[in-house]
Amino acid sequence: METSQGLTRPDRKTIEKNRRIHMKALYSKLLSLLPTPSSQEGIAVTLADRLNEAINYIKGMQEMLERMQKRKRQLTGSAGTASDVAAASRSPKIDVQDLRSGLRVIVVSSPCDHHLFFCEVVRVLEAEGVDIITASYAVVGDRAFHTIQSLVITCLIIQK
């Protein structure tokens, strides 16, 4: 089709084809971000089923993030008195970061008791259905830094 200025406009067939190609690329990208359920390998799954799985996975991740943030707030509660403020300055700092496929937990504590806090964080993560991939730490001055990388076990999140 030609316009009054001599420029050509793509016809509806080409526009629709490009839209389908774009949607297919977006769908493939979504599937690449989701964990593959081992129970359904080799079984043909419909587009609607995979989209429902994606929705459930995202909702599960959001619920888990909310539970962990709530737990973090409980563990790092606000201090009231001067002695509570002093204790809070010595208490560990916990930062939970949401990654697409899991979590990164960073714990900053005093070097004398950092192993206790690390063990407690690992226990809580495993109780919440998280599979720890790597854990590392470093002691710098009067602080110990632990970094824990983890994957979320999908089946435990969706069933909770």
pTM over 0.75: no
| CA terminus-to-terminus distance, the chain | 56
Residue 17: pLDDT band with limits 50, 70, 90: very high
pLDDT at 69 over 80: yes
Query: Does residue 157 surpass a pLDDT of 50?
Result: no
Q: How does the average pLDDT of the chain come out, rounded?
A: 77
How far apart are alpha carbons 34 and 101 in whole angstroms? 8
Which tens digit of pLDDT belongs to each residue from 29-68?
888 887 766 555 567 778 888 888 888 888 988 999 999 9
The DSSP H or E segment spanning 33 is: helix 12-33
